[in-house]
Structure 1
Amino acid sequence: MAKQEITCDDILKELRAKQYRPVYYLMGEEPYYIDLIADYITDNILTETEKEFNLTVVYGADVDIATVINAAKRYPMMSEHQVVVVKEAQNIRNMEELSYYLQKPLLSTILVICHKHGVLDRRKKLAAEIEKTGVLFESKKVKDAQLPAFITSYMKRKGIDVEPKATAMLADFVGADLSRLTGELEKLIITLPKGHTRVTPEQIEKNIGISKDYNNFELRSALVEKDVLKANKIIKYFEENPKTNPIQMTLSLLFGFFSNLMLAYYAPEKSEQGIANMLGLRTPWQAKDYLAAMRRYNGVKTMQIIGEIRYADAKSKGVGNPSLSDGDILRELVFKILH
C-alpha cells in the first residue's frame, strides 16, 4: 500500500500542537504552501525576544550547504529551540551533503529548507534521510478545477461565504496563482461592508475590477447555452477592454473547459456526481455546465472546437495571421463554436 503524502494541513496541525521536527524540507511548484508553512514556523515557534538570538534566515544564493549545517549545529540561547530558515534553497549546490547532518540532527534546531520550483529526487539518499528524521513536503500546483473549492474553503475559515458565481468569476480571472488569489481574497474581506459576511458578484465587480456581466465565466455560460447574442456582446466588451480581458486567458479557459467536456463523455456515469468524479471536481455543482454542454455539443463537435481553439491560439501569437485583431480572432472562434 502506497504511503500517503503529508499535506500542508497535516504539517500545520502538528505545529499548532507544538510537535516539531528537526527538519522541514518544503519543495515544489506552488510557492504558496511553502511560504505558508515557513512563515508559520518563523512567526510562531519563538517569542519576539527569542527571535533576536535564535532565528536565522539565509538565502541559497548567498550560502553553501556547509554554512547551513554549521548554523543548524548551534545551540539555542536562552530558548528551547532555534529556527534556521533557508530560502531559495534550489540555488544551493551539493544539497545531498545535508544527509550527513540528518544522521544525527540537533533536536533543539528546527531547520526549514524552502526549495521552490523544483523537487528532490525521491530515489536519492537525502530524500530517505529527510523522511526518516523530519518532513519532506511537496507543494503541488492546484488544478483550475480545484480553484473554486480552494476559494470557498479559504473564505470559510475567515467566516465569509462566497456566492457560486462570484467564486467562478474569481477563479477564472485570477487563475491558479495562489499567492495572487489569496491577496485578492484578503482585499475582498477588507472591503466588505460592515456586518456583511457574503461576497457577491457585485462586490467582485466593484473591488477586483471584473465585470459581473462581461467576463470569461459568462462567455463560457453563453457558449454552453448557445446564446449567440450574449456571446457577441461579451466579445465586444472584451475588445473594448483588452487589458482586463486578454485573449490568452480567454483561450486558456475555453481550452480547459472543452478538454474537460471531452473527458466527460467517457464518464461511466453521466450524472453530476459521475462527471465530478471523472474530472476530479470537488463538488457535483461544478459538473452542471458540463452536463448542459453535453446536451448541445456531441463528441465530434467538441473535438473540432478544441482544434479551433488551438488554431485561434496560434493566430493570436502571429502564426499565419498578418492582420486579424484579438477581437476578430475571438469573434471568429465563437462563431465556429456556435455553428
Structure 2
Amino acid sequence: MAVIRPGQLERTLRDRVAGGAFFFFGDEDYLRDEAVGKVVTAYLDPATRDFNFDQPRGSDVPAETLASMIATPPMMAEHRVVVVRDAQGLSNTARTVVEAAVKAPPPGLILVIAAAIPSGSKAKFYDELKKHAVSIEFAPLSQDDAPGWVMETGRDELGVEVDPDAARALVAGMGVELGMLGAELRKLAAYVQDRKRVTLDDVRAVGGIIPRQDRWAWFDLITERRFREAIDTLPILLESGENGVGLVIGMGGQLLKVALVCAGGQGALERELKPFQKWMARRLVPVARKWTLPEVDQALAELLRTDRLLKSASLSDRQAIEELLLRMWAIGRRDGARAA
C-alpha cells in the first residue's frame, strides 16, 4: 500500500467504511496527532466511546495487554479504535502483535499506529506497517512551508481567509511551532468573526509578535528590485537573528522561482512548488516581469560569489550582503536604468 499525502486522509476516511489500519509517522507531532484525531472522530460513536477506545503508549504497554485490546470486539457499536502512540517504543513482542493485526485486522477494529521513526532506523517493522496500513508521513514543515499551512488551516478548518502577509508575519513572529500558530489562528478567527478574513492589521490588533522586518518581506524587496530599501533594512534583519549565509540561500530560492516563471510561465513554477507553497505562484508572476532570464543568471552568480566570500573572507555578514545588493542593483543598468 503506497504512502499517501496528508491532504488525502479525509477522502480516505470517507471511502474507507470497513475499517483497517493507519500508520502515521514523522517528526511533526502536531500534524501527526491531528491526523489521529480525525480518524478517531470518523470511526468512534460518541455515545459508546468509553467502551470502544484505547490509546496505549508503546513504551508502557505489555504485549499481552496490547493483544487483548486489539482482540476485543466493538461493544454496542460498529467500530472499535485502538491508537498506539509512540510506537517506536514497542517491545519486539508487541511489534509482532501489531504487525499481525495490521496484516489481518479483526472485524470492526480501527488500529492507528503513530510513531517518530528514529533517525537511521532500518527496522523492518516500519516497512511492514507502510506496506499494509494506510500510511502518511508528517515531516516537520520548513519555514517557507509554514505560511501556506497557516492559510490552508485557516480556510479549511476555521473558515477564514488569511492574507499571505498576515500568514508570513505570524510565522516570522512565532516560528514554525504549529501548536502555537494554530492557537493564534483560532484567536484571530474569533476576532474577525463574520468578516472571515485575517489581515496584517488584525494580527497586530490581536497582539501577535510582528518583527520590524521579516525575511519574506525582505526577499520580496530583492525580487521586486527595490535594492535601496533592502540595503536600508538589512541591519534590522541581521539584528533579528538572520545571518549572511541564510539570506543568500533565501535569495537564491526566490530567484530560482523567478527564473522558472521567466523560462516557462506560471505553470512551470506551480509544477515545482511544494503543496504549501503553491500560493506563491500568483504572487511571483507579476514580479518576474521585472527580470530577464540572463539577469537572473547574473544575480545567481553574484549569490554564489558572496556565499564563497562569507565562508572564506574576513568580511562581516553586513559588509558582504551590502556589497552583494549593490552588485545585483547594477545588473541590467548597463543597458538601461532599473528601479531602485
Counterparts in 2 of 1:39-188, with a 5 A limit? 39-43=37-41, 45-94=43-92, 96-97=95-96, 98-117=98-117, 124=124, 127-128=127-128, 131-132=131-132, 134-142=133-141, 146-157=145-156, 158-173=158-173, 176-188=176-188
Gaps of 5+ in 1: none
Q: CA deviation at 1:34?
A: 1.8
Q: CA deviation at 1:258?
A: 0.9
Closer/same/farther in 2, CA of residues 334 and 65 from structure 1, 3 Å limit: farther
Closer/same/farther in 2, CA of residues 68 and 246 from structure 1, 3 Å limit: farther
Closer/same/farther in 2, CA of residues 228 and 298 from structure 1, 3 Å limit: closer
Closer/same/farther in 2, CA of residues 209 and 56 from structure 1, 3 Å limit: same
Q: Residue 337 of structure 1 aligns with which residue?
A: 325
Structure 1 counterpart of 2:57, one-letter code? Y
Q: CA deviation at 1:60?
A: 1.8
Does residue 1:214 correspond to 2:209, yes or no? no
Find the aligned partners of 1:47 and 1:19 in 2 and give their Cα distance. 14
Closer/same/farther in 2, CA of residues 126 and 141 from structure 1, 3 Å limit: closer
Closer/same/farther in 2, CA of residues 222 and 268 from structure 1, 3 Å limit: closer
Structure 1 counterpart of 2:242, one-letter code? I
Does residue 1:304 correspond to 2:302, yes or no? yes
Residues 60 and 91 of structure 1 are in contact (CA less than 8 Å); yes or no, is this contact kept in structure 2? yes
Q: CA deviation at 1:38?
A: 0.8
Does residue 1:269 correspond to 2:268, yes or no? no
Gaps of 5+ in 2: 328-340
Secondary structure at the residue paired with 1:137? strand
- CA deviation vs aligned residue, 1:104-149 (integer Å, no higher than 9, x gap): 32122221110125599899586456644x4222234445555444
- CA deviation vs aligned residue, 1:210-246 (integer Å, no higher than 9, x gap): 14x632222212233443442244234446xx5xx32
Residues 29 and 116 of structure 1 are in contact (CA less than 8 Å); yes or no, is this contact kept in structure 2? yes
Find the aligned partners of 1:185 and 1:101 in 2 and give their Cα distance. 38
Q: Residue 202 of structure 2 aligns with which residue?
A: 203
**Which among 242, 248, 252 is matched to residue 247 of structure 1?**
242
Structure 1 counterpart of 2:267, one-letter code? Q
Structure 2 counterpart of 1:223, one-letter code? I
Q: CA deviation at 1:72?
A: 0.8
**Which among 253, 257, 273 is matched to residue 259 of structure 1?**
253
Secondary structure at the residue paired with 1:188? helix
Find the aligned partners of 2:288 and 2:63 in 1 and give their Cα distance. 51
Secondary structure at the residue paired with 2:82? strand
Structure 1 counterpart of 2:229, one-letter code? K
Structure 1 counterpart of 2:183, one-letter code? G
Find the aligned partners of 1:238 and 1:332 in 2 and give their Cα distance. 14
**Which among 8, 11, 21 is matched to residue 10 of structure 1?**
8
Does residue 1:234 correspond to 2:233, yes or no? yes
Find the aligned partners of 2:121 and 2:107 in 1 and give their Cα distance. 25
TM-score, normalising length from structure 2? 0.74
Residues 271 and 291 of structure 1 are in contact (CA less than 8 Å); yes or no, is this contact kept in structure 2? no
Q: Residue 332 of structure 2 aligns with which residue?
A: none
Structure 2 counterpart of 1:203, one-letter code? D
Structure 1 counterpart of 2:241, one-letter code? P
- CA deviation vs aligned residue, 1:265-315 (integer Å, no higher than 9, x gap): 477834233333344552431433455465795424424324535765x6x
Could you say what the CA RMSD is over the residues aligned between the two structures, in angstroms? 3.9
Across the two proteins, how many residue pairs are aligned to each other? 319
Structure 2 counterpart of 1:154, one-letter code? T
**Which among 20, 32, 47 is matched to residue 22 of structure 1?**
20
Closer/same/farther in 2, CA of residues 17 and 159 from structure 1, 3 Å limit: same
Structure 2 counterpart of 1:220, one-letter code? F
